[in-house]
Amino acid sequence: MFEFRYTLVLVDVTVFPANAKLVNGALDSLGLLLNMSAQNVGHIQLPVCHTNTSAPIVYKHRRLVEDNLMNTQKIDISQTVALHFSKPDEPHGADKRGGVQTCLFAASDINTTAWTSPQVVGPTQLIRVRDMIGFDADTRPGATARAEQFLGS
């Protein structure tokens, strides 16, 4: 039997997939793990605007994530983290990705966890889309297609 002392769980919904059941399943698993011990914490990267979405939809998806964690899973998400990015040395002129992304630091009880939430993580280097795994120059998949790809089993 395994004994976990501290666990950090990462959930990335930067591009909210069309399959909302996939997100709910991930959040259910996150809630289960965080509620198993006060020493387990989560890092959730919240949705951002991109070419296939709009601000109202991004806020709707963000609220879905927050409401699921707070109301359904009873997780404390009162602390936020800023993920700071630096762009590639040769950015493309159409690259409109922002330099900061809002994330949540989640725990069953923020006051009793041994973890300390950072205010800022980074700077983290962004890569060009053409350098991403699975990039196909002929079909040029959109943001949603890139986010929903499965690169393993």
Instruction: Please state whether beta strands 76-86 and 120-125 pair in parallel, antiparallel, or not at all (unpaired).
Output: parallel
What does the pLDDT read at residue 71?
92
What are the residue boundaries of the structural domains of the chain, listed by start? 7-126
Global pTM reads 0.79
Neighbours of 4 (CB within 10 A): 10
pLDDT digits (tens, 9 = 90+) for 110-143: 888 888 888 998 888 877 777 777 677 777 666 6
pLDDT digits (tens, 9 = 90+) for 89-107: 665 656 566 788 999 999 9
Q: CA 78 → CA 84, 92, 96, 103, 123, distances in Å?
A: 20, 36, 29, 11, 23
pLDDT over 60 at 51, yes or no: yes
